[in-house]
Amino acid sequence: MTKLTLGAHPYMLGFEQLERLLERSAKSGNEGYPPFNIEQTSENSYRITLAVAGFSETELSVTVEDRQLVIRGRQAEDDGGRIFLHRGIAGRQFQRSFVLADGVEVGEAIMENGLLHVDLTRAQPETVVQTIQINKPSRGKE
């Protein structure tokens, strides 16, 4: 039995890129840290919220790379002579990636109470109706 993919389905033309995006998203290497939420804030907007306790704004970066939202965190090395009896607050570096659909734009990033909020908006595509003229085949000169 043959596996039917989006690119091979007879009624789904031009979706090969979507299939590649799904594969890339599955291989992005995201672990469970830091935890995050994704919420729909309106019909055409979303908010990603990451719990980044212990990180400052300067230790975080938010970039868009090849239709992927990439959020990275790296804390400066600060041993400061402190001796921890228990260290339960994770401070390790991280990278979270989110694949963005065409038309989704990254708005602002806001740091608030140990949470990083990244707002996204999706542009509403125009509905386009196109009429294709049907021509008769041209006959060669005899």
Q: What are the sequence ranges of the domains in the chain?
A: 31-77+89-125
pTM of the model: 0.70
Percent of the chain with pLDDT over 70: 82
Q: Which of 1-10, 21-30, 100-109 has the highest mean pLDDT?
A: 100-109
pLDDT score at 16: 74
- What pLDDT shows up at residue 142? 53
| Whether pLDDT at 126 is above 70 | yes
The domain defined by 31-77+89-125 folds into: Immunoglobulin-like (2.60.40)
The fraction of the chain above a pLDDT of 90, given in percent, is 49
Confidence at residue 122, expressed as pLDDT on a 0 to 100 scale: 94
Least confident of 2-6, 48-52, 65-69: 2-6
Average pLDDT over residues 28-44: 85
What's the rounded Cα separation, in Å, for the pair 11 and 4?
Answer: 12
Does pLDDT of 25 surpass 70?
no
- pLDDT at 14 (0 to 100): 75
